[in-house]
Amino acid sequence: MKILKLLPTFFFLLVVLNILFIFGAAGGTELEGRLFSVAMVSKDLWVFTWGHLFLVVGLVCLFIELLKATRTSVASIYDHIMSTLTFILFLLEFLFIKGAGSSVFLMLTLMSLFDVVAGFTITITAARRDIALDRDASFIQPTP
């Protein structure tokens, strides 16, 4: 159970994408396949596809990962390593796996990259702040 906390949410998204779309367990459903449509007041037809759903889920994953990046524990180091490996998997699949070469998959790959960069940046910034607070704390003199 503890290992599930170390895996980034993008990893689970990648697994679901692979099961449903890349390797065809969804019966040949494509990311561009219509999920539902809504008639707008402007008389336009708004079409929501499977790809749009995964982009929304990807944004939620990115938000969760940014929250996780604010931790400054040893577990956050493993989380960054796993996020980097997940990004590499996204990139390799986008480049080499048939069915993953779509704009939706590229956007999810970029979200995974932003997770990696933002995670390292936020953790380093938070760690510097923690070090600065500790350094200032040692110079506090008791008032007479």
Report the Cα 114 to chain-centroid distance in Å: 8
Q: What are the structural domain ranges in the chain?
A: 2-134
What pLDDT digit, counting tens, does each position of 68-108 carry? Answer: 887 777 777 888 899 999 999 999 999 998 878 888 999 99
Half-sphere exposure of 37 (CA within 13 A, CB side): 9
More confident residue, 106 or 31: 106
Q: What is the pLDDT of residue 127?
A: 66
Mean pLDDT: which of 6-10, 102-106, 125-129 is highest?
102-106
Following DSSP, what letter does each residue of 9-27 receive, concatenated?
HHHHHHHHHIIIIIS-TTS
More confident residue, 74 or 15: 15
Pick from 128, 123, 115, 130: nearest CA to 70: 123
Lowest pLDDT segment from 12-21, 23-32, 52-61: 23-32
Measured distance CA(138)–CA(133) in Å, rounded? 9
